[in-house]
Chain A
Amino acid sequence: GQSLEQPSEVTAVEGAIVQINCTYQTSGFYGLSWYQQHDGGAPTFLSYNGLDGLEETGRFSSFLSRSDSYGYLLLQELQMKDSASYFCAVHYSGGGADGLTFGKGTHLIIQP
């Protein structure tokens, strides 16, 4: 089976840096993704880590450690529009097929 843990809520200040952690237990794991979802909207893809290390895309970075079954999403220079829910998702392979399972999401609250 697949299980993911991420904090339910994180609060940060505009302009600051925030890190959202994700731990997982997954059979056949081969990658970790992050998605952003604004209230009432569809999830949108932010990043993917298939290998250990840091991937940087503008103000957002994502990290993976396969040996620790752990990853995080780092958001820099926070803006009010970054207030949203952030989901980590594990990619796994098993039984001849691939799957994609999401965590319960972290609600990020940005304060002025």
Chain B
Amino acid sequence: NAGVMQNPRHLVRRRGQEARLRCSPMKGHSHVYWYRQLPEEGLKFMVYLQKENIIDESGMPKERFSAEFPKEGPSILRIQQVVRGDSAAYFCASSPPWVSEAFFGQGTRLTVV
């Protein structure tokens, strides 16, 4: 059973471009969380999704950011018109329902130049 897979591991975008970050949860996991981490800082919650549903997006900026977790395929975090402040590590975690442990991917390091 492969772990949580995130790709790409590193992504460089110019200001104004779009960034698409992918997360394939572990097999059998229906819950996906996205977190953003700035250097020397903690994990800031962005969004919590279950298959085809956004459960909690209270940590997501209202503009330019969106997330989905379709019935088939990976979860996608999409950032439109990126700015330098979007540069961070973005981590995805997954878990099955009613389980205390969340499994993290290796993260995507986004650099906006």
Contact = CB atoms under 8 A, between A and B. Distances in A.
Given A31-B100, A102-B42, A103-B42, 19 more contacts: A33-B100, A35-B104, A41-B106, A42-B105, A42-B106, A43-B91, A43-B93, A45-B102, A50-B100, A95-B56, A97-B50, A97-B55, A98-B97, A100-B33, A100-B45, A100-B93, A101-B45, A102-B45, A105-B42
A104 B36 CA distance: 12
Query: Which 3 A-B pairs give the minimum distances between C-beta atoms?
Result: A104-B42, A48-B100, A97-B55
B107 interface: yes
Specify the main secondary structure of chain A where it touches its partner: strand
A69 interface: no
Interface residues of B, number: 24
Interface of A: 31, 33, 35, 41-45, 48, 50, 87, 91, 95, 97-105
Contacts of A41: 106
Contact of A87 (B31, B43, B48, B97): B43
Interface string B65-79: 000000000000000
A41 to B, nearest CB: 8
B63 to A, nearest CB: 21
Interface string B102-113: 111111000000
B48 to A, nearest CB: 6
Contacts of B101: 33, 45, 48
A50 to B, nearest CB: 7
B100 A43 contact: no
Given A97-B55, A100-B33, A45 B45 contact: no
Contacts of A105: 41-43
A71 to B, nearest CB: 13
Given A87-B42, A87-B43, A99-B48, A42 B56 contact: no
